Amino acid sequence: MLLEVRDLHVEFHTRDGVAKAVNGVDYSVDEGETLAVLGESGSGKSVTAQAVMGILDMPPGRITGGEILFQGQDLLKLKEEERRKVRGAKMAMIFQDALSSLNPVISVGDQLGEMFQVHRGMSRKDSRAKAVELMDRVRIPAAKERVGQYPHQFSGGMRQRIMIAMALALEPELIIADEPTTALDVTVQAQVMDLLAELQRELHMGLILITHDLGVVADVADKIAVMYAGRIVEHAPVHEIYEAPAHPYTKGLLESIPRLDQKGSQLYAIKGLPPNLLAIPPGCAFNPRCPLAQDRCRTDVPPLYEVTESPVPRRSACHYWKECLHG
């Protein structure tokens, strides 16, 4: 296994109390595999990724438990110095907002080349050539002429390509893409997702795709982890989850999005609001919004029940997953 996150816990200490952002997350990605982490704002999907990358703001954040095994090695036990050698070279991240993730006063070529200078000890001239090569690879037209330009001279889609080029620079084994296309228009989004999928196949990388868009997930993912209130509530291969969700939250999400190919009647709406991380409801965190909730759900935290063990294990954190699956 390329990456395995085991029972990860992350807290944030704020003025109003302790926000429990991640409460025991387990997931894994293999080489060449795409895991989609799906969740709404505050579900802990980005915080988990930041912990994996080692870019969590600490303080106020604190990792209070768990392991992050990368090629068998627990990253949480490494010194910052050793961690830095992993970050960028072996795992890289693509952020949502390319404009604010790129340095506005350094040329694109220098930002791309920096990777080679720092990690590979290349000269400025060689790294420039590498930068042009990378820009070609992500299909930026006239790469040679544009390598000296600054981020503001590129369009949104092009900037996101540069972010992808930067992440790919050192041919990492794992890429974490945090909402890589959310800020882009649909036609550009399709271009960028295609490029990302193609490069992943070519380089046989593991990909963690963090998103809230159920459409994007259906297009590219192999397996899905659905997060709610800092926990994984359902984990399944992509086809099965769309066909028959085994958790009421997943089911509600799928029913609440309108369809493009047919005009539906009224939308199903999950009642209530996402939970406050300072005061997560006892028992199952979803119980106040759940149509299946019983007394037991208000007291017992549901474990991740095994639904099926077929090639990719399928799990659901619902006491009544059978009712959900067949109801």
Instruction: Summarize as ranges the residues that interact with another protein (CB under 8 A).
Output: 40-41, 155, 157-158, 185-191, 193-194, 212-219, 238-239, 242, 252-254, 256-261, 263-264, 266-271, 273-274
The amino acid that residue 78 corresponds to is L
HSE, CB side, 13 Å, CA atoms: give it for residue 103: 10
Q: What is the rounded CA–CA span in Å between residue 156 and residue 136?
A: 17
Residue 92 or 290: the one with the smaller Cβ distance to another protein is 290
How are the residues of the chain apportioned to helix, strand and coil, as percentages rounded to the nearest 5? 40, 25, 40
Burial readout 295-315 (b: 16 or more C-beta within 10 A, e: otherwise)? eebeeeebebbebeeeebebb
Supply the DSSP string of 82-97, one letter for each residue.
Answer: HHHHHBTTTEEEE-S-
Q: Taking the complex as a whole, how short is the minimal distance between the CB of residue 286 and another protein, in angstroms?
A: 11
Copy the structure tokens of residue 236.
Answer: 């399944």
The residue among 291, 271, 232 whose CA lies nearest residue 35 is 232
135 and 145 Cβ atoms separated by less than 8 Å: no
Q: Taking the complex as a whole, how short is the minimal distance between the CB of residue 249 and another protein, in angstroms?
A: 8
Residue 5 or 246: the one with the smaller Cβ distance to another protein is 246
Copy the structure tokens of residue 154.
Answer: 């590129």
The residue among 121, 97, 92, 124 whose CA lies nearest residue 111 is 124
Q: What is the rounded CA–CA span in Å between residue 305 and residue 317?
A: 6
Residue 41 or 326: the one with the smaller Cβ distance to another protein is 41
Residue 40 or 110: the one with the smaller Cβ distance to another protein is 40
Give the burial class of 65: count Cβ atoms within 10 A of its Cβ; 0-12 exposed, 13-18 middle, 19 or more buried. Answer: middle
Q: Taking the complex as a whole, how short is the minimal distance between the CB of residue 222 and another protein, in angstroms?
A: 10
Residue 15 or 263: the one with the smaller Cβ distance to another protein is 263
Q: Taking the complex as a whole, how short is the minimal distance between the CB of residue 275 and another protein, in angstroms?
A: 11
Residue 172 or 252: the one with the smaller Cβ distance to another protein is 252
Q: Taking the complex as a whole, how short is the minimal distance between the CB of residue 74 and another protein, in angstroms?
A: 34
Residue 79 or 263: the one with the smaller Cβ distance to another protein is 263
The residue among 172, 249, 182 whose CA lies nearest residue 209 is 182
